[in-house]
Amino acid sequence: MNDFLLIFRRDFTNKDAQPSPEELQNSIKAWQNWFGGIAAQNKLARPLQRWDIAGKVVKADKHVINGPFVEIKESIGGLIIVKAENYEEAVEIAQSCPILELGGTVEVRMASDPEG
Amino acid sequence: MEQQELIPHLFRSEYQKIVSVLCRLFGIAHMEIAEDIVSDTFLAATETWSTKGIPENPTAWLYTVAKNKTKNYLKRDNLFQQKLSPEIQYHAAKTEEFELDLSVKNIGDSQLAMIFTVCNPKISTESQVALALNLLCGFGIQEIADAYLTNKEVVYKRLQRAKEKLKEVNVRIEQPGFAEISERMETVLTTLYLLFSEGYYSTTQNVTLRRDFCAEAMRLAYLLTDQERTNLPEVNALLSLMCFHVSRFDARANQDGETILYHDQDESLWNQELIDQGKYYLGLSANGNLLTKYHLEAGIAYWHTHKEDTQEKWLQILQLYNNLLIIEYSPIVALNRTFALGKVYGKAAAIVEAEKLKLTGNLFYYSLLGNLYTNIDNAVALQHYRQALLLANSNADKATITRHIQHLTA
């Protein structure tokens, strides 16, 4: 088994791209079921961690801006680390991630050894 | 109560009380002496009561004899006296004045101290449960052997090893301070939870013994809620969970001891008083922000006290199972979660999730698949139930699965 980082990104700034309150409500259940489904397969590699939505960005000139970030089209909505045999299996988990229903994307990255 | 019933009960409940007080007085290094004094007391009681009848107040009789035996022991054995703490030596030197304190308060304090002494993370969990059964609940070696379906020698050796270990790691038995409470509470709750499960899920046919195990685990949990320092939300959550589970004890088995599944239970046999108690402790468990697995399990057990299958009920149960799995994975919780998912989103959706679990060594995995495939593809359902039957060990499990197979082949 390998550890895979799954990063969920979505456009939080464009008004047209925002889900309706009802969609958001349903989405909460979908997230819980998705996390529960991964945990049911004993594939959660780390405890879940919530992240503040607003956050800050440090720019090249060391200037700090507060979120949400108009300059970044897709912000990180969250991330989890799962256990999977290979990319194929990790991608299969990512394919049922609720962020996709909200027009977002999931980036999948395998943890690698420092030596490897 | 008849004498045959009264004496084992009385001995069990008084054994752990007097042993706790004596162990706290002498220190854990001398726990055998504490146990000897109590055994001698019970021997004297059995002898005297069998000829003269049971005294009006048997507990007071036992306490008087235990006090005298302790006094005599201290008087007789000067060598032992020298090993005790200066404080006890001081009192014991004036043996005429020495009085073993068997007041309700001192018993309660000593038992609490003993719980935290036994539940030491340096001792294996298995040993902790064995010690708890023996020292905190007063179960004899034979009773523990019956519950574990093993023989007396095995239990005796396990207890001896655990007691040696206890002596090795413990110097003093004392009232737990706030630091010990926060450090050990998790271990204490795990041990009480296992003790309870031992009674609730044990495969032994001895129903009385199983009830007694559950009752003892609950008594120890009550003891924790009784004291302000240990009356924490997670303790209330565990107690709530125990109340809800035990409320269904009478409905869980038929007269032949066969298991009755939740779905088929006669809810008029559910104990409403215990359900109300469960709700009360669940309310108290909601103080503060802490959400432990006991909170989640108590929540699941709470929703199961609603017999009616509503969408709301199963949605809540599913979310509680999701959160429980996120905190701590267990195969049985994964299977229950999938069953709940089927209740909310339908069997087809649950089959997809179930097949991802791949718990191919687990009979309940196949029972679940058998259940989900029933009325969707009965041939596949039958295959799964037959696989489950191959993996079943207990007669109760075999009987349940066979009933499902008969239903599908009828």
Contacts of A35 in chain B (CB under 8 A): 322, 326
Hey, what amino acid is at B329? Y
Residue of B nearest to A80 (CA): B326
Report H helices in B100-203: 104-118, 125-131, 141-147, 152-169, 178-201
Q: What is the dihedral of CA A83, A86, A88, A89, to 10 degrees?
A: -30
Which of B33-37, B61-65, B87-91 is predicted with the least confidence, judged by mean pLDDT?
B87-91
Q: d(Cα B227, Cα B232) in Å, to the nearest integer?
A: 10
CB contact under 8 A, A44 and B357: no
Does position B267 have pLDDT exceeding 70, yes or no?
yes
CB contact under 8 A, B338 and A33: no
Q: d(Cα A15, Cα B180) in Å, to the nearest integer?
A: 53
Does position B95 have pLDDT exceeding 60, yes or no?
no
Q: What is the mean pLDDT of residues B196-223?
A: 86
CA–CA min distance B315, chain A (Å) = 9
Residues 6+ positions from B375 with CB-CB distance below 8 Å: B347
User: Model confidence at A16, in pLDDT bands (50, 70, 90)?
Assistant: confident
Does position B19 have pLDDT exceeding 70, yes or no?
yes
Do B329 and A39 meet the contact criterion of CB atoms below 8 Å apart? yes
pLDDT attached to residue A53: 76
* CB atoms closer than 10 angstroms to residue B150: 12
pLDDT attached to residue B359: 95
Q: Name the residue among A100, A98, A107 with its Cα closest to residue A31.
A: A98
Provide the CB-side half-sphere exposure for B257 (13 A, CA). Answer: 12
**pLDDT, tens digit (0-9, with 9 covering 90-100), for B360-395:** 999 999 999 999 999 999 999 999 999 999 999 888
- Extract the tokens encoding B46: 């059995």
Q: d(Cα A84, Cα A95) in Å, to the nearest integer?
A: 14
Considering CB atoms only, which of B315, B318, B326 is closest to A39? Answer: B326
User: To probe the interface with B, which of A33, A81, A93 has the most B CB atoms within 10 Å?
Assistant: A33
Q: Is A57 helix (H, G, I), strand (E, B) or coil?
A: strand
CB contact under 8 A, B334 and A41: yes
Does position B280 have pLDDT exceeding 90, yes or no?
yes
Which of A36-40, A59-63, B378-382 is predicted with the least confidence, judged by mean pLDDT?
A59-63
- Extract the tokens encoding B401: 């699965």
Which of B142-146, B231-235, B315-319, B351-355 is predicted with the least confidence, judged by mean pLDDT?
B142-146
Q: What is the mean pLDDT of residues A72-93?
A: 90
Does position B226 have pLDDT exceeding 50, yes or no?
yes
Which of B175-184, B213-222, B270-279 is predicted with the least confidence, judged by mean pLDDT?
B175-184
Contacts of A39 in chain B (CB under 8 A): 322, 325-326, 329, 334
If DSSP states are collapsed to H, E and C, what string results for B265-325? CCHHHCCHHHHHHHHHHHHHHCCCCCCCHHHHHHHHHHHHCCCCCCHHHHHHHHHHHHHHH
User: Model confidence at A21, in pLDDT bands (50, 70, 90)?
Assistant: confident
Does position B260 have pLDDT exceeding 50, yes or no?
yes
pTM above 0.95, yes or no: no
Contacts of A44 in chain B (CB under 8 A): 326, 329
Report H helices in A41-114: 87-94
Residue of A nearest to B331 (CA): A40
User: To probe the interface with A, which of B314, B322, B343 has the most A CB atoms within 10 Å?
Assistant: B322
- B103 sits in the region (left: phi over 0; alpha: psi -120 to 50; else beta) called beta
Do B359 and B335 meet the contact criterion of CB atoms below 8 Å apart? yes
Does position B1 have pLDDT exceeding 60, yes or no?
no
